[in-house]
Chains A and B, each alone.
Chain A
């Protein structure tokens, strides 16, 4: 496409390998291993307590992603693959969007409008059906936001 690439040496494809290997500092290792589970626990609290206090799917998803990305930065990419593999992130993101749209589609198939929680085939009182419908779609939002942020970080890192 561009003539520039042919004239000069090939551009450096690998951006910076130092971002992928673990850090040397033992203080950062110990601190990040201690802090990351607490961040993810707070993320789960923010997500599940979103009906009663400031919080919800978007904020909880961002906090969960922050917990994983802290380990990605300090332990390196290869050692933190067990927590959230790179190949799984975009698939889980699609699953989250599918949970959201699927809740609306189930309500559509059961006789209501799209995303009309009164028609979900679960036997609660109709008012509380909306309460649980909100919880269902918040699950989808959380999974999508968390895995998309991790996927963008991994892609920018080039792995």
Chain B
């Protein structure tokens, strides 16, 4: 039981966080809260990749010349770190574009509440 919790607590936490983000996207009516929940889901995905790169008793992915590269188990896996590095910046930019869209909606209809918005769009 202790081994299970030590090996899987990160996945338990991330699954719960993912469902919290989905709950916000499904049930909240304000568009701003929907975007915040979408950001939570993005962060969960990024954290999941980072967890998958972890090795026990490993170092950061900078080469230490006194240790060498004969045993690759002493360095973390660098590939998920690279992919998520670009994903974080792109996530920030997509967040900016979605805020721009929301500002445009507010200028046009004067509300961000979804039922009111659907009524005014008729």
* Pair A4/B110 contact, Cβ less than 8 Å: yes
- A58 vs B81: C-alpha distance in the bound complex, in angstroms? 13
- Measured in the bound complex, the distance between the Cα atoms of B89 and A62 in whole Å is 9
6 contacts between A and B (CB under 8 A): A2-B121, A145-B89, A152-B93, A155-B100, A156-B99, A156-B103
Cβ-based interface call for A123 (8 A): no
Asked whether A5 lies within 8 Å of B108 as measured between CB atoms, the reply is: yes
**Number of A interface residues in the complex (CB < 8 A):** 21
Residues of B within 8 A of A148 (CB): 93
A8 within 8 A of B: yes
Q: Is the interface of B mostly helix, strand, loop or mixed?
A: helix
B107 touches A13 (CB 8 A): yes
Q: Which residues of A contact B121 (CB under 8 A)?
A: 2
Number of interface residues of B (CB under 8 A): 19
- From 38 to 74 in chain A, residues with beta carbon under 8 angstroms from any chain B beta carbon are 52-54, 56, 58-59, 62
Inter-chain CA distance A145–B86, complex, in Å, is 11
In the docked arrangement, what's the CA distance between A73 and B106, Å?
23
Chain B positions within 8 Å of A56 at CB level:
85
Interface centre among B89, B92, B120, B121 (most CB of A within 10 A): B89
A156 to B93, CA, bound (A): 12
Measured between alpha carbons, how far is A59 from B89 in the docked complex, in Å? 9
Asked if A8 contacts B108 (CB within 8 A), the reply is: no
Chain A proximity of B27: nearest CB distance (Å): 26
For A2, the chain B residues whose CB sits under 8 A away are 108-109, 120-121
Looking across the interface, which residue of chain B has its beta carbon closest to that of A65? B92
**A156 & B100 in contact (Cβ 8 Å cutoff):** yes
Known: A54-B60, A58-B86. 11 other contacts (CB 8 A): A2-B121, A4-B108, A5-B108, A11-B107, A11-B108, A15-B103, A52-B62, A58-B85, A59-B85, A152-B100, A156-B99
